[in-house]
Chains A and B, each alone.
Chain A
């Protein structure tokens, strides 16, 4: 069993609409790696290049010299690589994924991926059932519902199930909670965490905001202007609010409270990144 990273990017550059008057440089030498079983966050403001980076993970964008992308041992610069296999292993869920739905019935749309993988009807059905359970849609109740009669939140679940039905080893969520209200967002993230721990799914979260990150990921890459500008564990990254602000990002409010206390000369132990940690730390300070 290889111990190397599952996804490895090295010195990746990318220019959109190269050679036209609308040319735009999206990546200026990005290197990062994702190991099996991890939960990693890629944060950055709009335009930082984070979506461009993850589109390299599943071969939607192929690397150009000198950049290299290696996924599960396969070098994606090699034109002979079977990109469809890569896309089965690396599931990518886009922002507003419900916009990809096209089949008349829910079950059919979720079955699209498995069908493309050449599965037989019985196996497809099992996959669809499993995927629907994972996202919280009752199989019997929803499989024959017209896709477009569902609410926005339900349609998003269908879209997510459509990608999960491929049973990828890595799931990339590119701003997948956009537009969800707090309750739906919480439910979504809880399910993702359950998948991660229960099914050992490697997770990559891409987001412009810090709110989701603290509870979800072990490691963070911070991007700005096409480069990785900070990286480390969640705690390490959040303990530098000034630098994050420079890159157009904030920190959770509890972390800001901790830094406000530090600025007032009060000693803070471990900088909290969640409310519970904040309460514990504040209690400790108040009673020491």
Chain B
């Protein structure tokens, strides 16, 4: 095993952020966050509205800057104004509203918007637009008016628009909140493809079942990180999640409650098949005995 330490692509140290710091009612949205994100991670950040997760997201690409603490993106500090464009082309962000991110009246022209801003030369522009639309599965719609697309399709166009800048990190700030289940499925599939190709993904969501997609889960509450680990590790802490009034996937809840009645039943199952297999195993064991 290598003893080299791998530098995180994003490093957050003691991050504090307050909205309206000078007013009578300042909102302390982040109260000391420490977090490392490694290249290739698929990190899912869960929490309630008001937990600070969106604020954290916006600190990743210098849309917001820390009141205290630091955020480094590939070694660049977000407080450093001259690095802003470089940071934003390294960390791309897709937002919640499918409609309000799309600027142009033709899909491919919107996807080109980001790289145009970076001054990418014309032939490379065309290549990037085609690649980005292909990766999210929207190439056949390249000349359509965004107005005619479904919400899930619009979000995929938004993702393509960000990916056309060739960022190393893709942040999804509740990008599936306004989609119906099939739209969500399509967007998650596109994100999965990107992560498989090496894009670091940071997904902010309040949908618990999306957390299963990642390799790491961070749970936030009241401006702080309260739980961290792999999805399995985090979801096994059913009681704590219940106290935070967060859902767990029904499968995990089922396993947990069965574990309460029978300690040998594993409490940290995530997938439908895992639960079915476990029950089947026990049934045939009893039948066999």
Do the two chains touch directly in the complex (Cβ atoms below 8 Å apart)?
yes
When each residue 169-202 of chain A gets 1 if its CB lies under 8 Å from chain B and 0 otherwise, what string results? 0000000001111111010000000000000000
Number of residue pairs A-B, CB distance < 8 angstroms: 92
The proximity string for B residues 234-261 relative to A, scoring 1 for CB distances below 8 Å and 0 otherwise, is 0000000000011101110110011001
Given contact pairs A248-B182, A279-B257, A285 touches B151 in the complex (Cβ within 8 A): no
- How far apart sit A152 and B177, CA to CA, in the bound complex (Å)? 14
B273 within 8 Å of A (CB atoms): yes
Count of interface residues, chain B, beta-carbon cutoff 8 Å? 34
Kindly list chain A residues whose C-beta atoms are within 8 Å of the C-beta of B276: 257, 260-261, 264
CB of A105 closer than 8 Å to a CB of B: no
Q: Assess whether A266 is in contact with B280, with CB atoms less than 8 Å apart.
A: yes
Binding site for A on B (CB under 8 A): 48-50, 150-151, 177-178, 180-183, 206, 208, 245-247, 249-251, 253-254, 257-258, 261-262, 272-273, 275-276, 279-280, 282-283, 286
Give every chain A residue within 8 A of B273 (Cβ-Cβ): 260
C-alpha gap A275/B247 in the complex (Å) = 12
Asked whether, in the complex, the Cβ of A183 is within 8 Å of the Cβ of B245, the reply is yes
- Indicate if the CB atoms of B181 and A257 lie closer than 8 Å: no
**What is the bound-complex CA distance between A46 and B177, given in angstroms?**
14
Q: Is the CB of A46 within 8 A of B150?
A: yes
* List of A residues within 8 angstroms of B49 by Cβ: 151-153, 180-181, 184
Query: Which chain A residues border B246 with CB–CB below 8 Å?
Result: 182-183
The answer to the question of A134 belonging to the interface, with a C-beta cut-off of 8 Å to chain B, is no
Smallest CB–CB gap between A241 and chain B, Å?
11
Q: Is the CB of B279 within 8 A of A182?
A: no
Q: Kindly identify which residue among A181, A184, A266 contacts B279, using a CB–CB cutoff of 8 Å.
A: A266
Chain B proximity of A251: nearest CB distance (Å)? 10
Smallest Cβ distance from A253 to chain B, in angstroms? 4
- The residues of B that contact A283 with a CB separation of less than 8 Å are 258, 261
CB of A266 within 8 A of CB of B250, answer: no
Choose one: B206, B280, B286; the contact of A264 (CB below 8 Å). Answer: B280
Query: How far, in whole Å, are A256 and B271 apart by their CA atoms in the complex?
Result: 10
Neighbouring A residues of B282 by C-beta, 8 Å: 286
Flag whether A230 is at the interface (Cβ < 8 A). no
With A152-B49, A181-B48 given, is the CB distance from A253 to B249 under 8 Å?
yes
- Does the CB pair B180–A285 fall under 8 Å? no
When the two chains form their complex, are residues B283 and A182 in contact, meaning their CB atoms are under 8 A apart?
no
